[in-house]
Amino acid sequence: MEGRGVMQFHLETDELNLLANVLLERVSATSTRASSASHRKSDSDAEQDPRHYNDLLDKVLARDLRFDFDELQQVANLLAGKKRSLRDEIARQPNAVLKTELQREQALLERVLERVAEACAMV
């Protein structure tokens, strides 16, 4: 963390819930991948380690949004990836009602991503 501060930012309840759900998805996905017998080492091992996401999830669930720069970057990258996958899912969704619901989730996700980006800029 050398010389980097910690930034506390605030999210509304629906934004916190979305962030917690995205983190939970990642913890679950990385835990499954890590437990597979042929897990390879890669350049992004730290980012793929479910413990890092689990720690972030614990903070979000405790409503303790004091993140250092690296944690904010990790959250921003995770949300950006979720935004891309959600955009693809919306494009493929034939059901108008489900598409509208996904678009609402996308708008909420973009709002959270903006707040994280602002916090990154302030650290």
Q: For 7-60, what is each residue's pLDDT tens digit?
A: 788 899 999 999 999 999 999 888 777 666 444 554 454 456 778 899 999 999
The string of pLDDT tens digits covering residues 77-122 is 999 999 999 999 999 999 999 999 999 999 999 999 999 999 988 8
**Predicted TM-score (pTM) of this structure:** 0.82
User: What was the pLDDT predicted at 36?
Assistant: 62
Q: What pLDDT score does 34 carry?
A: 65
Residue 2: inside a domain: no
pLDDT at site 37: 42
Q: Per the domain annotation, does 103 fall within a domain?
A: yes
pLDDT number for residue 78: 96
**What is the pLDDT at residue 3?**
44
Position 29 scores a pLDDT of: 87
Residue 59 is assigned to a structural domain of this protein: yes
Please check whether residue 14 lies inside any domain of the structure: yes
Rg (CA), the chain: 15
Give buried/exposed letters for 53-67 (b at 16+ CB in 10 A, else e): bbebbebbeeeebeb
Q: What total number of domains does the chain contain?
A: 1
The boundaries of the domain holding residue 13 are: 9-34+45-122
